Amino acid sequence: MAIARIERRVNLGLVCLAALFLDLVLWLLVLLGWESATIPADFIATHQPKFVFPYSHGLAASIGWSVLAGAATFLWYPRVSHAKLRAAALVAAAVFSHWLLDALVHAPELPIAGARSAKVGLGLWREMPVALAVEAFVAFAGLYLFVSGAALSRPRKLWISVLSLLVFGFTAIGMTVAPPPPSVTAMAATSLVTIVVVSLLAGWLAKPPRWHELRSQ
């Protein structure tokens, strides 16, 4: 959301999708059987699935996805310009920000390169009240930065704020009191639908950018 404030020609929905892109890749690969998620026996105590996800959440892979997202943004516009270089760099930054924040909260399970490489993670989720406080600060700081500078009507700003509150609320519930999901497949499908719906709602509420104007710059 802060990135959408910095570059207002890039729609909020696209930035949200970029920030969630690594999870989008994760759940697609889980459904394809190329990565795995396991619901451990102590899920009620930890609320943390166990992952093997070198292709979506490895450091090298995350850099690659960020570059691809930036390149796709760049190629969307027909002529080289400062505007599209800036947009591409910011979308790439949004994608990679996911890995940086995951490295803060996950246990050491984020591989540097392949599945057998060294794994990192500061494990802030082991101290859930602190982790949720950090996530709340990040979420609401981004919300404030976007809403305070957005050229949107008051109702649209209100609904974007409501959407952000709902997302954070469901995140907090999922990390604290929610029961185990019925299956990994259900968890993957629900997560994919949530990512798409949240990104589409954010994009609609923030009004899609006028891509033809950006392409002409």
CB atoms within 10 A of CB 70: 22
- Both tokens of 66, joined, read 């960020």
pLDDT of 212: 41
> One digit per residue, pLDDT tens: the chain, 217 residues?
989 888 888 889 999 999 999 999 999 999 999 999 999 988 988 899 999 999 999 999 999 999 999 999 988 865 556 778 888 999 999 999 999 999 999 999 999 998 889 999 999 999 999 999 999 999 999 999 999 988 888 899 999 999 999 999 999 999 999 999 999 999 999 999 999 999 999 999 997 445 444 444 4
pLDDT at residue 77, rounded to an integer: 64
Query: Token pair of 156, please?
Result: 């649209």
Q: What is the 3-state secondary structure (H, E, C) of 6-68?
A: HCCCCCHHHHHHHHCHHHHHHHHHHHHCCCEEECCCCHHHHCCCEEECHHHHCHHHHHHHHHH
pLDDT value of position 152: 87
**pTM, 2 dp:** 0.90
Cα–Cα dist 30/26, whole Å: 6
